[in-house]
Amino acid sequence: MIGRILLAISIFAVTFSAQAGWDVGGGVEHYQWIEYPTGYSGNPKESGGRAALFVNWTQEGDRGLLMAWRAKLYAGTVNYDTYVISTGAPVSTKTDYSGVASEGQMFYRYDLGASAYKLDQLGGLGLDFWRRHIRSGVEQIEDYSVLFLRAGLRLTKSRPEAGFHGEWGLKYPVATQENAHLDTLGYTSNPSISPKGAVSVYAEVGYRINARFDVVGYHDSWRFKRSDDVMTTDTSGTAWLIHQPKSNMDAFGIKLLVSF
């Protein structure tokens, strides 16, 4: 539902704005996910490379209230180093990731005058959805859906002008749902798990080579607190309390964008 709303907003914005530009491109990123379970000495960790495709739409103007839309499609296979909970024995396997993010933004632009730079004060509402497929002895799939807010500052020039640009700010997941597909893991029910949100940071530094090409380095992140326990039972009737531990995600990447 939220995804449809964001898509409708983006279509509306594109339809009613004549001065706008598109950026399309791809990149690679180093991904890291670390969990901090309570009562255990180890921290399960995923790390490795992912590929990403990007689509951006930005309304153009020298000053005033403007709109933008951002989308990202990503996938990759990373290493997963964890342990057996009952024995503590280390286990290494692989995790496959695939996901998509869509975000609508509004920003107020200030013209900085003789420097030719513009300062954007921005806010965004987005939805990030990904599937985490852990290659273990049994099929283990986790689907995450994160509704988030963004607040940041962006220093930029007009699109045709070469030069450095940057963006930095904060993100907050206002609602997170995790479908752990517990009913495929020997449990009789599949209650939804809701990791609690925490503030995270993001940043971009780029250089626009000319009116057509832009190279950008970026850092993105999520921070989740421990979820509340949910109860389910296994096929023998034994009750279990299950939760998602505190988790941190960081992605460091580089992307090449082509402007239209």
Spell out the residues 6+ positions from residue 134 whose beta carbon is closer than 8 angstroms to its own: 80, 93, 95, 140, 141, 142
Tell me: pLDDT of 26 over 50: yes
Cα–Cα distance for residue pair 160/259, rounded to 1 Å: 9
Cα–Cα distance for residue pair 132/45, rounded to 1 Å: 13
pLDDT of residue 136: 80
pTM for the model stands at: 0.90
**Dihedral in degrees, nearest 10, Cα atoms 108, 206, 50, 1:** 10
Q: pLDDT-based confidence at 160, cuts 50/70/90? A: confident
How much is the mean pLDDT over the chain?
A: 91
118-141 average pLDDT score: 93
Cα–Cα distance for residue pair 93/100, rounded to 1 Å: 24
Tell me: pLDDT of 252 over 60: yes
Amino acid identity, position 163? G
Tell me: pLDDT of 87 over 80: no
- Show the domains of the chain with their CATH numbers: 2-247 (2.40.128.100)
pLDDT of residue 42: 82
Tell me: pLDDT of 5 over 70: no
Q: pLDDT-based confidence at 88, cuts 50/70/90? A: low
pLDDT tens digits along 173-207: 999 999 999 999 999 999 999 999 999 999 999 99
pLDDT of residue 257: 98
Tell me: pLDDT of 4 over 70: no
53-65 average pLDDT score: 96
**What is the token pair recorded at 15?**
């339809």
Contact 100, 144 (CB under 8 A): no
Element (DSSP H or E) covering residue 6: helix 2-15
pLDDT of residue 40: 76
Tell me: pLDDT of 98 over 80: yes
pLDDT tens digits along 200-236: 999 999 999 999 999 999 999 999 999 999 999 999 9
112-121 average pLDDT score: 91
